[in-house]
Amino acid sequence: MRLRINQIIVKLEYTPEDVMLAIVRRLGVPEKDLSDVEVLRRSIDARKEDRPPLYVLSVEVSYAGETHPALAPGQIDLVEERRPRPDTVAVRPTAQRPLIIGAGPAGLMATLTLAEAGYRPLLVERGAQTDVRQSQVEQFWQQALINSESNVLFGEGGAGLFSDGKLTARSKDRASIRHFFETLVACGASPDILIDAEPHIGSDVLAEVIPALRQRIIDAGGEVQFDSRLDDVLIEDGTLRGVVISGNEHRTDHCFLATGHSARDVYRMLHRNGVPLEAKPFAIGVRLEMPQRRIDWAQYGRWSLESATRPASYRLTWKGGPDNRGCYTFCMCPGGLVMACASSEGLLTTNGMSFSGRAKPFGNAGFLVPVGISDFPASEGVHPALSGIAFQEAYEKATFEAGGSDYSLPAQMLPEFLAGDNSLNIPAERSCRRAVAANLDTLLPPVVVSVLRRAIPRMLRELNDVRQEEILVYAAETRSSSPVRIVRNPMTWESLGVRGLYPLGEGSGYTGGIVSSALDGIHAALNWASGDESP
């Protein structure tokens, strides 16, 4: 029989022998009756100050003993036979090969799924392939030379290529998540992502994983084109008949649109063509940077000085005041960097990133405040569905100008930001070299500034020993999620206004983050491939 056991406690530097010994003690059976141990999940328990942090494991093990071990629901359970995930489906005839626009997680996984099913899909990406894109982004960070087609937000790997590679997953579809993670491991990611409670890859490793994933698509019969921008969609009688790619018409009746939440020209083009769009709430705020050693001490106490502890992270929320407008942390990057982001001239936002080792001296996180449609009503000449984009752009323009109009990030020490002080001094020791002192008040909506000033001190109380005078605030963080939703059928992923057009990923307005976007691509591709309608 196969057993699943939760709450197996082991030291951080555990061995397979340690895990087996802990299982033997929990079950009270001879070790000879146990085999095939598999760690399913692990998380760090650092709650007790009188002992070092420990790993808490969930494991499965095969048991061959004659005496049935005592079961305890939720602690020791019999494992039901796993149902294999359908990786491929029967290929149905198509008039044209399916086209995927955008090589972020949704587009890459949709393309791979279709390629492995035998469809010979074509993946088109406006930006450059990973190695070329890395050079372009370094030029932007070092010399303020922006490429509006290939940058921190556009290119192979999507915006997530320059991030922490966090694989936060809230979906209950464990089989598809496992399939996605195993694909990443096969392409070079650490096997630890299969079991860690807070898995991450790191931007340095992602730069190796994404090209390997591209090669896997090619080996399965797919094709990938870079530096190829979607200019237009060709619609006849409510049905997609083709697209225009970098000025050239391409006939297709099935297009998976995975262009990301920063492709504002795509939203405007879709609006011109009558594709149904709607505005949606999102969030805006700042990014706080503090010494990583303070975060480690807050989470691990004196045990943070032990070499076995990993750089610590945190997740904080504040539910807000009478208006119910709260604040939450986003994209926490332990031992990481704050970076400038831009996809068009004269507009600037910020984000965080870290490498696989998370070894830099500072940690950072976005502190975001939700904004709703009532916060950005449509102005004259702006369609209501696009009003959130105009709202973002106004603050990104102000951020660009406050930074000196050379893509330097405006920054301010936390005590000065909280007090509304105009004293403008920032430390030389910081992760973002291209940063300038600025007053951040005018770079955010007044209601957001008000909430942040109430929320941040209260949220930081959960991090003991974190000192406000050591925290640097960067503005503005505007692109945590899409302000637009491309309205689609929830069962088929197809646009409600255009047959044959399938909006996917963060750009669709239905997902957020690497994992949910990748699963969106997988599910949409499988659903389309299993359909029985004629093209």
Q: Are residues 179 and 289 in the same domain?
A: no
223 vs 378, more confident: 223
88 part of a folded domain: no
List pLDDT tens digits, range 150-197.
999 999 999 999 988 889 887 778 889 999 999 999 999 999 999 999
Which of 477, 504, 519 finishes a domain?
477
In the block, residue with structure tokens 């009478």: 322
| Mean pLDDT, residues 23-39 | 94
Q: Are residues 455 and 309 in the same domain?
A: yes
87 vs 137, more confident: 137
Q: Are residues 177 and 319 in the same domain?
A: no
Given a cut of 70, is residue 71 above it in pLDDT? yes
First to last CA, the chain: 48
User: Residue 134 sits in a domain of what CATH number?
Assistant: 3.50.50.60
91 part of a folded domain: no
Q: Are residues 60 and 115 in the same domain?
A: no
169 part of a folded domain: yes
User: What is the domain extent for residue 408?
Assistant: 282-377+385-477
Given a cut of 50, is residue 243 above it in pLDDT? yes
Q: Look at 62-76, 119-133, 248-262, 360-374 and tell me which has the smallest mean pLDDT.
A: 62-76
Provide the pLDDT for residue 362. Answer: 98
Provide the pLDDT for residue 182. Answer: 97
| Mean pLDDT, residues 386-391 | 96
**What confidence category does residue 534 fall into, taking pLDDT thresholds of 50, 70 and 90?**
very low
Provide the pLDDT for residue 95. Answer: 59
333 part of a folded domain: yes
Provide the pLDDT for residue 532. Answer: 41
Q: What is the mean pLDDT of the chain?
A: 93
Provide the pLDDT for residue 533. Answer: 43
Q: Whats the size of the chain, residue-wise?
A: 535
Provide the pLDDT for residue 515. Answer: 95
90 part of a folded domain: no
Contact 337, 420 (CB under 8 A): no
| Mean pLDDT, residues 224-247 | 97
396 part of a folded domain: yes
308 vs 467, more confident: 467
Q: Are residues 314 and 270 in the same domain?
A: no
List pLDDT tens digits, range 276-289.
999 999 999 999 99
Of all residues in the chain, what percent are helix, strand and coil, respectively (each to 5)? Answer: 30, 25, 45
Provide the pLDDT for residue 92. Answer: 60
User: Residue 19 sits in a domain of what CATH number?
Assistant: 3.30.70.2700
List pLDDT tens digits, range 430-488.
999 999 999 999 999 999 999 999 999 999 999 987 999 999 999 999 999 999 999 99
Given a cut of 60, is residue 352 above it in pLDDT? yes
Provide the pLDDT for residue 464. Answer: 86
Looking from the CA of 466 toward its CB, the CA atoms found within 13 Å total 30
Q: Are residues 254 and 297 in the same domain?
A: no
Given a cut of 50, is residue 38 above it in pLDDT? yes
Number of domains in the chain: 3
- Residue 256, classified by CB atoms within 10 Å of its CB into exposed (0-12), middle (13-18) or buried (19+), is buried
Picking from 278, 202, 138, the residue whose alpha carbon sits closest to that of residue 514 is 202
Contact 142, 134 (CB under 8 A): no
Distance, in Å, from the CA atom of 260 to the CA atom of 262, rounded to the nearest integer, reads 6
Whole-number Cα distances in Å, 279 to 314, 378, 497: 31, 10, 16
pTM of the predicted structure, to 2 decimals? 0.93
Picking from 30, 29, 20, the residue whose alpha carbon sits closest to that of residue 57 is 20
92 part of a folded domain: no
* Percent of the chain whose predicted confidence (pLDDT) is above 70: 96
Q: Are residues 414 and 449 in the same domain?
A: yes
Given a cut of 80, is residue 83 above it in pLDDT? no
Q: Are residues 166 and 255 in the same domain?
A: yes
Strands 501-503 and 255-257: parallel
Provide the pLDDT for residue 337. Answer: 97
| Mean pLDDT, residues 382-399 | 96
DSSP notation for 103-137: -SHHHHHHHHHHHHTT---EEE-SS--HHHHHHHH
Provide the pLDDT for residue 169. Answer: 81
147 vs 424, more confident: 147
Which of 78, 112, 136 finishes a domain?
78
Provide the pLDDT for residue 523. Answer: 96
Which of 435, 451, 477 finishes a domain?
477
Q: Are residues 211 and 257 in the same domain?
A: yes
Q: Are residues 291 and 421 in the same domain?
A: yes
Q: Are residues 25 and 110 in the same domain?
A: no
60 part of a folded domain: yes
Distance, in Å, from the CA atom of 59 to the CA atom of 50, rounded to the nearest integer, reads 26
Given a cut of 60, is residue 86 above it in pLDDT? no
Q: Are residues 28 and 147 in the same domain?
A: no
Picking from 190, 208, 214, 200, the residue whose alpha carbon sits closest to that of residue 108 is 214
